[in-house]
Structure 1
Amino acid sequence: MNPHIYIDWSGDPGFRFRRGSSDLLLVAAVSTEENEIDLSSLREELALPADYEFHFAKTSAAIRKKFQQFVFSKLDFSRAIVLRVDKRLLPQEYRKMSGEQILAEFIVHCIKDIPDNLLQNAILLYDGKREQKSFRNVLRKTISDMLKPAVYLRDVKAMPASQNDGLQTADMLAGLVRTQSQMTSRVKLKIVRYPR
């Protein structure tokens, strides 16, 4: 099997702060060497249905706490990076970019911190609809422009987070870092602030 990278985000790439755009954009990347992420044992432990979706905005504080404990004590993954972008501090050039371009650029900034052995030949999955080809194309081009030339990703594709535990893990980590200002980097988790 190939390494997998699961990408999800919290917040939006917009700059209309007075009209509801978020101050922060958090991009989470969770990487595994060979295995896919499986949250079924956590669902069983919490007596949740087998198809329960861990979506930060929809989960209770109690489930969030249990999820956080499970991720750092029992879940098998190699590395997680959460990029915490304070959009109010970004240079003006970002305001001229499309939302897709901004999001793609920060996804690449996030995965740049993943070790090469977990990037090389990896399958990158992000939360989205398969039929939204426009963003996938922008993301692929941005990856090719910004990553080291020697790094090759086997595939870049969208998948609804409701169908993938790795994407749900990325969603929950992005939400946890957003809401817990005291959360710090750990052995398996690196939190990167942008701009630095």
Structure 2
Amino acid sequence: MLVFIDESGDPGFKVSKGSSPAFVLALVAFSDRAVSLEVQAAIDAVSKQLRVFPEFKFSKSRPEIRDAFFDAVLPFDFCIRAIAVQKERIQSGYLRSNKEAFYSFFVKSMLKFDNGLLKDARIVIDGSGERVFKQELSSYLRRHTEKGAIRSVRFSDSRNDRLVQLADMCTGAIARSYRDNRDDADRWRQMIKAKIEDVWDFR
């Protein structure tokens, strides 16, 4: 199994100074590696067709780009799970003051409560952060998930990884649905609805 993870928003709590009010993590999972390669090819093709370089990012894409991207990938077999965090509900002082702990806790929570999805999974996370943090997160995830759920954890630069870009686009679509100040807030979440197994609204 292949699993790709990305986030939308940030782990900061200074909303009045620009931090996002919500934080969303999502994973995209493939049970068949051959299908993942087909999706990469489909994304490559739509990238060339629309002249989108070097990568697809939901936050930087026009509506018609988002539409074309999802139209290209939806015929393939993959699933999406996500966790959405309204930061105002977080009471833990530790999570509010430690960005790395906040991020690690919610990645772990999403993977741990996976409803039996993960089996010998190769986890790929959008690559950011210091090397030591990446090593610590990898160890942390193995300690806090079911035995046999995770085979490996690695980090990948989204500019060079079409399936991390897929995770970004799906995460962005779900995150946007929480922005009630937008008329089209739910538009792209509805597009990918059939692929979404669960969105956990953390409380």
TM-score bucket (shorter structure): 0.7 to 0.9
Give, in whole Å, the separation in 1 of the partners of 2:46 and 2:115.
32
Alignment of 1:61 with 2:86, yes or no, is no
Residue 150 of structure 2: SS of its match in structure 1?
A: coil
Alignment of 1:188 with 2:187, yes or no, is no
Query: How far is 1:52 from its partner?
Result: 4.3
CA contact (8 A) 2:119 2:149 kept: yes
Counting aligned pairs with the same residue, the percent is 24
TM-score, normalised with respect to structure 2: 0.80
Query: How far is 1:139 from its partner?
Result: 1.6
Residue 154 of structure 1: SS of its match in structure 2?
A: strand
Give, in whole Å, the separation in 2 of the partners of 1:21 and 1:65.
28
Equivalent residues in 2 for 1:112-123, closer than 5 Å: 112-116=112-116, 118-123=117-122
Give, in whole Å, the separation in 1 of the partners of 2:96 and 2:86.
17
Other-structure match for 1:162:
159
Residue 5 of structure 1: SS of its match in structure 2?
A: strand
Question: Gapped runs of 5+ residues in structure 2?
Answer: 179-185
Question: Gapped runs of 5+ residues in structure 1?
Answer: none
Other-structure match for 1:125:
124
Other-structure match for 2:183:
none
Other-structure match for 1:76:
77
Query: How far is 1:169 from its partner?
Result: 0.9
RMSD after superposition:
2.5
More helix by share: 2
Query: How far is 1:76 from its partner?
Result: 2.8
Residue 169 of structure 1: SS of its match in structure 2?
A: helix
Letter of the aligned partner of 2:10 in structure 1? Answer: D
Equivalent residues in 2 for 1:100-179, closer than 5 Å: 100-116=100-116, 118-129=117-128, 132-148=130-146, 150-179=147-176
Query: How far is 1:80 from its partner?
Result: 0.8
CA contact (8 A) 1:43 1:49 kept: no
Structure 1 residues 125 and 146: CA distance shift in structure 2, 3 A: same
CA contact (8 A) 2:95 2:101 kept: no
Q: Please identify, of 155-164 and 180-189, the stretch whose mean Cα deviation from structure 2 is larger.
A: 180-189
